Structure 1
Amino acid sequence: MAGLDIAFYGSSLVSAYWNGAATYYRGIIRALAARGHRVTFYEPDAYDRQKHRDIADPPWAKVVVYPATPDGLHRALESGRGADVVVKASGVGVFDDELAEGVLSIRRPDGLAIYWDVDAPATLAELKAKPEAVLNRLVPDYDMVLTYGGGPPVIAAFAALGARRCVPVYNALDPDTHHPVPYDARFDTDLTFLGNRLPDREARVEQFFLDAAARLPDRRFLLAGNGWHDKPVPPNVRAIGHVYTADHNALNCSGLAVLNISRQSMAEMGYSPATRVFEAAGAAACLITDAWVGIEEFLEPGTEVLVARDGAEVAEHVAALTKDRARAIGQAALRRVLADHTYDNRAVLVEQLLTGAETGVREGV
């Protein structure tokens, strides 16, 4: 099969700064490139991301950084005209409505236009609250909607908006990028949480992480991510700010356990494992996650992941956790994700969807 030319319009491939989708983009696109497809990633010069690059332009994708201006957008769209597949990702943050319309306008008559949602719960909530939103009108015009999470509830919601098809393409592991590394004293702690401070996450960080820290004053807690510098925290919590992706493996490998906290919208929707679930599992970290519907589809509770319904249960897990048990859970998680949840697995599905070779994926209608 000849490789596809794919024009992909997203937030950023080269910077994870205020860009939680970076790892997902990199994993999917790198795996597609390994299968012979050619991806050009178009990203706006916005939010200081280019000043906080954490990778150089990769050999497996062409990166085009365009000015965050109407003319810059126009040039980026014209550059993508003629591709076999054009992709508009959610949450670009600059001219999203114009991009959503523009991608449809440059689709070849024999090509595909894909809307790829990297935060479907938030998108669907916004579309419900704003019937006049441009995307409500455009969803039926796309050949397909792909999402990085959400399962049956998201499929049904996009179908109700008129989507021709909706297929989840879940987060996964790139074992070349996220893997076990030696201990690093900078990140020595009993429980690590990495996540940017966002409105629909903050209350859950208070509930699951800060409450657990307050219950265990003799244990050490590490809070990483943007925006927490002025957040009141218990004295046993150390906030370290943004952690570049090059240090994520060391962060995950150097504490007793790692905590995943879903944003409120993702927890309510279910079937939405965050990228960091697979980053932690890939590093053989012992993962504790907040409870959400569908977790057992990805990791087995009790043996490959620990599940908590609130901060009290997080504290119970941390207090009872020995180094040996933490190591056993982390190793079991690593074996599971290597077997079932790599980006190579996901790229096979995406390729089948884009070429029409796939027949067994649940339809969005």
Structure 2
Amino acid sequence: MKLVVFGLTVSSSWGNGHATLWRGLIKALAAQQCEVTFFERDVPYYARHRDLLDLPAGELVLYADWADLAARALSEIRAADAVIVTSYCPDGPAAAALACEAARRAVFYDMDTPVTLARLAAGEGVDYLPAEGLSAFDLVLSYTGGEALVRLERELGARRALPLYGHVDPDAHRPGPPQPRFAADLSYLGTYATDRQPTVAALFAEPARRRPDLRFLLGGSGYGEAFPWSDNIFFLDHVAPPEHGAFFASSSLTLNATRRDMADLGYCPSGRLFEAAACGAPILTDVWEGLDLFFEPGREILTARTTDDALAALDLAPADLAAVAAAARERTLDEHTSARRAGQLIGYLSASSPAAAGDLQEA
């Protein structure tokens, strides 16, 4: 199967969650005899933070301008078995028009479904969507399940909306020896987001203030002077994907904080959730509907709604934390790998009817 993808980025993991997911998925697709060509607009902010130049398991095409790319894009689309256009693709509407006109199967993959639906509800434009919505696509995939799938069909005209959740490449994210620079009693890895900040403040910054005897490590871009820093919070403005394993493996406990729109919709596991679990780190997460579809609260993952909940998790015995981490890693390697999602994607694309695709969704 030959696939063509028009996406935000796969070459830079800076300030976005798309790149690491695509790297793992493309590698897993290649292992299942799929050839992938990924088109990415070459923008300065990703060029300055580019941590991948070639796709070992696919072809990366960086381009400066859509007009110069159109002929090459059309040729690749016509040769492909399926074409995938993603949310936040800078040339999404143009790529979608070409794909829906010329592709054997045109797919839209919304990797930011809660953002898409929230902006629509607020009456805002969504510049990565076609003006007519998603009705022209043969299939719509969503990073978020549950009610989001119904709304994609009802509000944006998707013919079929199916989930393709986050995942992890266990070759890239696995337990390893702790590194002193990443040592922490509680760590958090995530780009700054205003709507996520109350959760980070309650479950990370406030515990740090109350427990000056512990070490807290924050990794991610966009944090400034307004963040409620304390002397025991240490900061890294970027942690590259090859370092994620060491980052998580060096933490006694790591936090997952979900963006507000995602938490409100539910069924929205972050790729970082699976990365941390694959690395053997015990995870503390905020609570949202559908969490138990991916991990069993209390046994495979710890949950917190308040600062006191976070402090209670920090006070658990090392043996208890280790048991939670081991259970989450086992669940992740069984159900949440890039290979598992690649197989699901191939099944969706190979399905000859909506009924067959529905069977695959249940499986």
Tell me the TM-score normalized by structure 1: 0.91
Residue in 2 aligned with 1:157? 151
Closer, same or farther in 2 for the Cα pair 1:211/1:76, shift >3 Å?
farther
The one-letter code sitting in structure 2 at the alignment partner of 1:157 is R
How far the C-alpha of 1:146 sits from its partner, in A, is 0.4
In 1, distance between residues paired with 2:337 and 2:295? 13
Aligned residues of 2:12 and 2:47 also touching (Cα < 8 A):
yes
Q: What CA distance in whole angstroms lies between the structure 1 residues aligned with 2:51 and 2:11?
A: 6
Equivalent pair of 1:299/1:333 in contact (CA under 8 Å): yes
1:75 positional shift? 4.6
Alpha-carbon deviation of 1:53? 2.3
Q: Is the 8 A contact 1:127 1:136 kept in 2?
A: no
Equivalent position of 2:254 in the other structure: 258
After superposition, the Cα gap between the structure-2 partners of 1:79 and 1:51, relative to the gap in structure 1 and judged at 3 Å, is farther
- What residue is the counterpart of 1:121 in the other structure? 114
Aligned equivalent of 2:22, options 18, 21, 25: 25
The residue that corresponds to 1:294 in the other structure is: 290
Distance 1:17 1:158 in 2: 28
- For 1:21-57, what per-residue CA distance to the aligned partner results, in whole angstroms no more than 9, with x for missing partners? 1121122221111111110000111142233222341
Identity of aligned residues (%): 35
Distance 1:189 1:102, change over 3 A: same
Q: Note the alpha carbon deviations across 1:133-161, whole angstroms, 9 max, x for none.
A: 55361311111110122x22111101102
* Paired positions, count: 353
- For the Cα contact (< 8 Å) 1:77–1:106, is it kept in 2? no
Give yes or no for contact 1:66–1:76 (8 Å, CA) kept in 2: no
Residues 321-361 of structure 1 deviation map (CA, whole Å, 9 limit, x = unaligned)? 22222222111111111112212111111111101164414
Q: Aligned partners of 1:229, 1:184: CA distance in 2, in Å?
A: 26
Q: Does the aligned pair in 1 maintain the 2:347–2:360 contact within 8 Å?
A: no
Deviation string 1:269-300 (CA, Å, 9 cap, x unpaired) is: 11111010000000010110111111111111
- Whether the 8 Å CA contact 1:291–1:307 is kept in 2: the answer is yes
Partner in structure 2 of residue 15 of structure 1: 12
Determine if contact 2:12/2:51 at 8 Å carries over to the other structure.
yes
Residue of structure 1 aligned with 2:188, choices 186, 193, 201: 193
Alignment partners' CA distance in 2, 1:234 and 1:73: 49
Using the TM superposition, give the Cα deviation of residue 310 of structure 1 relative to its aligned residue in structure 2, in angstroms.
Answer: 2.4
* Partner residue, 1:61: 58
Q: Which ranges in structure 1 are unaligned for 5 or more consecutive residues?
A: none
In structure 2, how many angstroms separate the alpha carbons of the residues matched to 1:132 and 1:252? 37
Aligned residues: CA RMSD? 1.9
Aligned with 1:321 (options 289, 311, 316): 316
Q: How does 1:192-341 map to 2 (within 5 A)?
A: 192-230=187-225, 231-318=227-314, 320-341=315-336
Which aligned pairs between 1:339-354 and structure 2 lie closer than 5 A?
339-354=334-349
Deviates more, 1:71-80 or 1:176-185: 71-80
TM-score normalized by the length of structure 2: 0.92
Query: How far apart are the structure 2 equivalents of 1:353 and 1:156?
Result: 18
Q: What do the CA deviations read for 1:207-229 (whole angstroms, capped 9, x no partner)?
A: 32212222222211111100114
